[in-house]
Homo-oligomer: A and B are copies of this chain.
Amino acid sequence: MAYFQSKPIAGRHFLQIPGPSNVPDRVLRAMDNPTMDHRGPDFGLFGKQLLEKVKPVFGTKGPVIIYPASGTGAWEAALVNTLSPGDTVLMCETGQFASLWQEMAQRLGLKPVFIETDWRRGADVESIGERLRADKGHSIKAVAVVHNETSTGATSRIDEVRAAMDAASHPALLLVDTISSLGSVEYKHDEWRVDVTVSGSQKGLMLPPGLSFNAVSDKALKASETAKLPRSFWDWKPMLASNATGYFPYTPATNMLYALDTALDMLHEEGLENVFARHERHGEATRRAVRAWGLEIQCEDPRHYSPVLTAVRLPEGHSANALRAAILERFNMSLGNGLGRLNDRVFRIGHLGDIGDLQVLGTLTGVEMGLRVAGVPHKSGGVQAAMDYLAGNA
């Protein structure tokens, strides 16, 4: 029974929202070790190895800053460390989270230029290229893209964004939000020359929420020297200074760092390539189920299908929220709601983090039975289609 579950329900809750993902027992057990002295000699040893161990997940050899704060904070950190009041930021409206990041930029006194989309695909690389080419004076200081848009299930092609920036010979910084992709989808901070990679703990990293990250390029570091937005808590400089010896400038979230340490061990033991392939496979299985049900996948572009979650559109006149409520009530499973303009129009199936074939299929049985119970028109056979795929592709 989950903490504060309002009624007794037998069996493990299926937490199939697209994050927080299910935290493995091994990670929970690490997290609940006694808190240690964050200024003692053992902490320095611990911190140093941890700050190294986290790098490969970002695909970087450069510094990764760890904040004792949730992912939204790392968005703010990326902006305030690199930009100055009034700076223009080119952003791409891939969905709700891109919109929220854009609103944050506005609230912080930046000038976001927002490339609108229909919320059914990843970032519009062509438009980004156009805008950059048109910006002869280089007034655009940064391009900010959400790698995996959690509200729609679309994964943007960061390699292509990079290529478009290169093609335009534009010097803007590249800021990428990988909160819901890191540790689930292949990502290459260094190779794609990303300047700030923003991430969080509660998705592919398999931790509870409460840690967030900035992976930082040399170019971003240089930009931070002249960036004028006021900053203190988020400031990279004292972080990097303390991190050099494995410490933090203010009290870190020690127990979450234990959890991170163990989660990274698990990712490295499985092998990042295997982790990514597993997510791809579960994404494909889920989409086959959705198609068999005769329902529509929110993401229309197969090149942007997310390995992390699948957002499913309901037929006109049917309520996604009513469906989710029925599934929660009858089958003890939480699915993601539709966010922003997609509220009540889609539901989202998370298939990320510490998950195996039988959890994915158990999830799909809950959806298929839920569609029936809630009276949503569909064909049966979704679970069968997913089984056919997974049994042939284990």
Contact = CB atoms under 8 A, between A and B. Distances in A.
A28 B255 CA distance: 10
Nearest to A67: B69
- A12, A104, A278, A365, most chain B CB atoms within 10 A: A365
Given A10-B356, A13-B34, 18 more contacts: A3-B34, A11-B355, A15-B35, A17-B39, A20-B35, A23-B34, A25-B33, A25-B34, A29-B29, A67-B69, A68-B73, A75-B233, A85-B230, A210-B210, A210-B253, A331-B357, A361-B361, A373-B394
B209 A252 contact: yes
A187 to B, nearest CB: 18
Contact of A365 (B2, B45, B365): B365
Contacts of A39: 17, 336-337
A223 interface: no
Number of copies: 4
Contact of A33 (B3, B14, B33, B362): B3
Interface string A6-46: 10111111110101101111101111111111111111011
Interface in A146-189: none
A388 B359 CA distance: 19
A72 B251 contact: yes
Contacts of A109: 230
A270 interface: yes
Given A8-B269, A356-B332, A366-B358, A3 B250 contact: no
A42 B5 contact: yes
A70 B73 contact: no
A355 B14 CA distance: 11
Contact of A361 (B70, B103, B278, B365): B365
Interface string A355-376: 1111101110110110011000
A235 interface: yes
A380 interface: yes
Given A11-B355, A233-B69, A362-B358, A384 B373 contact: no
A330 interface: yes
Interface string A194-211: 000000101000001110
Interface of A: 1-6, 8-15, 17, 19-20, 22-26, 28-43, 45-46, 67-73, 75-76, 85, 103-104, 107-109, 200, 202, 208-210, 229-233, 235, 250-256, 258, 261, 266, 269-270, 275, 278, 328, 330-334, 336-337, 354-359, 361-363, 365-366, 368-369, 372-373, 380-381, 383-384, 387, 390-391, 394
Contacts of A28: 32-34
Given A4-B46, A33-B25, A365 B356 contact: no
Given A10-B275, A358-B366, A24 B42 contact: no
Contact of A391 (B12, B32, B73, B369): B369
Sort A-B residue pairs by CB-CB distance and give the 10 closest, nearest first.
A11-B356, A362-B362, A210-B253, A69-B69, A37-B334, A361-B365, A369-B391, A4-B46, A32-B32, A208-B255
Nearest to A228: B109
Contacts of A384: 380-381, 383-384
Contacts of A209: 35, 38, 68, 251-255
A6 B41 contact: yes
A4 B251 contact: no
A285 to B, nearest CB: 11
Contacts of A270: 8-10
Contacts of A73: 68-69, 73, 233
